[in-house]
């Protein structure tokens, strides 16, 4: 990715842009991404993967000409296609969108879905990660929006991973997971971590995912202490990451 200046106070174009957001669960939403998208002049078109199949298909059809598609996280696994009817049409949609080289941003499950749409395997990882971790940008990542999280612990909440697809650029790795972020040119960005996670969302996830968290050996109290220590810095880095990405795709 090429260098471009980006700040939190980007001037927005007077022309409205549309971001289609594929959401899989009510509690896994745009979070701190929402105000950054608003500053860049985006309207949000939410497509609910958990709703009726016909409505989901109609939402994906509306997304074809959107300036941006964002695919959010989920507690589901991309490899559960036989159990979950929404996954196959979502991957078909992403495959077509990627083939057309239209902007896509994938977050956690969304990153895994992008990898699957590009032909890679998605599968359980070596460990369940919940909490804040350091993600190190690669040399290419240091010239990408991911550069903004360098040295800033970011939120992880997953147990799945993926093989790096052919034709992408690895942008970041962590101690446990080598494929933390990848991209294609300026227009596609996928991250395994959760830069969108706010403190309120973190508390919701702890409540809803308590059995998963404790079964993996994590203490909710310790995770709350991590959040108190690291969340503010991540919010700033997250806003800069998204601001940078939106600035780059606006120039395409």
User: Among residues 185, 152, 159, which one has the least CA distance to residue 171?
Assistant: 185
Contacts of residue 147, Cβ cutoff 8 Å, sequence gap at least 6: 137, 141, 244
Predicted pLDDT at 4: 39
Residue 165 has pLDDT above 50, yes or no: yes
The more confidently predicted of residues 179 and 13 is 179
Q: What is the pLDDT of residues 1-28, one digit of tens each?
A: 443 334 443 444 445 899 999 999 999 9
Give the C-alpha separation, 185 to 188, whole Å.
Answer: 7
Residue 182 has pLDDT above 90, yes or no: yes
Q: What is the pLDDT of residues 223-241, one digit of tens each?
A: 999 999 999 999 999 999 9
- Residues tagged active-site: 108, 194, 196
Positions of E strands within the chain: 17-23, 42-48, 68-71, 104-107, 122-133, 136-137, 154-162, 169-173, 181-184, 188-191
Which pTM does this prediction carry?
0.93
Partner residues linked to 158 by β-bridges: 129
């Amino acid at each position: 990715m090429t260098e471009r200046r980006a700040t939190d106070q980007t001037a927005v174009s007077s022309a409205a842009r549309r971001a289609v957001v594929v959401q899989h669960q009510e509690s896994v939403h745009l979070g701190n991404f929402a105000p950054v998208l608003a500053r860049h002049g985006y309207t949000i078109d939410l497509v609910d993967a958990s709703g009726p199949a016909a409505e989901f298909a109609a939402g994906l059809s509306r997304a074809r000409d959107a300036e941006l598609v964002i695919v959010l996280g989920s507690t589901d696994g991309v490899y559960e296609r036989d159990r979950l009817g929404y996954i196959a049409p979502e991957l078909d949609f992403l495959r077509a969108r990627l083939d057309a080289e239209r902007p896509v941003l994938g977050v956690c499950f969304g990153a895994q879905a992008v990898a699957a749409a590009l032909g890679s395997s998605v599968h359980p990882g070596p460990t369940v990660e919940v909490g804040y971790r350091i993600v190190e940008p690669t040399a290419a990542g240091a010239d990408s929006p991911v550069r903004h999280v360098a040295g800033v612990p970011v939120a992880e909440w997953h147990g799945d991973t993926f093989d790096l697809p052919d034709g992408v650029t690895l942008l970041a790795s962590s101690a446990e997971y080598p494929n933390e972020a990848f991209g294609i040119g300026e227009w596609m960005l996928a991250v395994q971590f959760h830069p969108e996670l706010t403190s309120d969302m973190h508390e919701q996830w702890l409540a809803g995912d308590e059995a998963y968290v404790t079964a993996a050996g994590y203490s909710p109290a310790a995770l709350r202490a991590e959040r108190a220590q690291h969340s503010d810095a991540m919010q700033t880095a997250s806003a800069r990451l998204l601001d940078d990405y939106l600035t780059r795709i606006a120039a395409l």
